[in-house]
């Protein structure tokens, strides 16, 4: 399973701006709501989150401390 950006379906207005900036074709509109397809190609650039006008798509980071 590939970790992918998370969508809040209630907030998505179907504007498609996230699709226009995504280089990996992970995002598609289904019934005017964003659906995220799992793909290794997504490099977590977070641009989908940056351009979303409603905060409907999020690229959360897990923060961990490296133990040496």
Partner 1 sequence: MAVNNSFLKSVAYFPGLSTEELDSVKKLIFEKKVERGDIIVFEGDPPEALYFVSSGVVKMFRTSAEGKEQVLNIVRPGESFNDVPAFDGGLNLASAQAMGPVTLYGIPKHSLDLFLQEHPQVAVSVANVLAAQVRHLVSLVEDLSFRPVVGRVAKVLLEYAGDGTSPGQQLTQQDMAAMAGTAREVVSRSLKVLQSEGVIEIDRHRIVITDKEALRGIAGASN
The span from the CA of 34 to the CA of 43, in Å, is 18
Cβ proximity to partner 1: between 21 and 33 the closer is 21
Q: Which residues, 27 to 66, sit near partner 1 by CB under 8 A?
A: 43-44, 46-47, 49-51, 53, 55, 58-66
- Which partner, ligand SF4, partner 1, none, binds residue 56 by CB below 5 to 8 Å per kind? ligand SF4
Shortest distance, CB of residue 65 to ligand SF4, whole angstroms? 24
Q: Which residues, 32 to 61, sit near ligand SF4 by CB under 6 A?
A: 34, 42-48, 52, 54, 56-57, 59
- 16: tokens are 């498609």
The residues near 23 (Cβ < 8 Å, ≥ 6 apart) are 41, 45
CB atoms within 10 A of CB 10: 8
């Amino acid at each position: 399973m590939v970790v992918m950006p998370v969508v809040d379906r209630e907030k998505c207005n179907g504007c498609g701006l996230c699709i226009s900036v995504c280089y990996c074709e992970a995002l598609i509109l289904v019934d005017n709501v964003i659906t995220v397809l799992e793909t290794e190609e997504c490099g977590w650039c977070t641009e989908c989150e940056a351009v979303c006008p409603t905060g409907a798509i999020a690229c959360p980071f897990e923060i961990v401390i490296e133990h040496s």
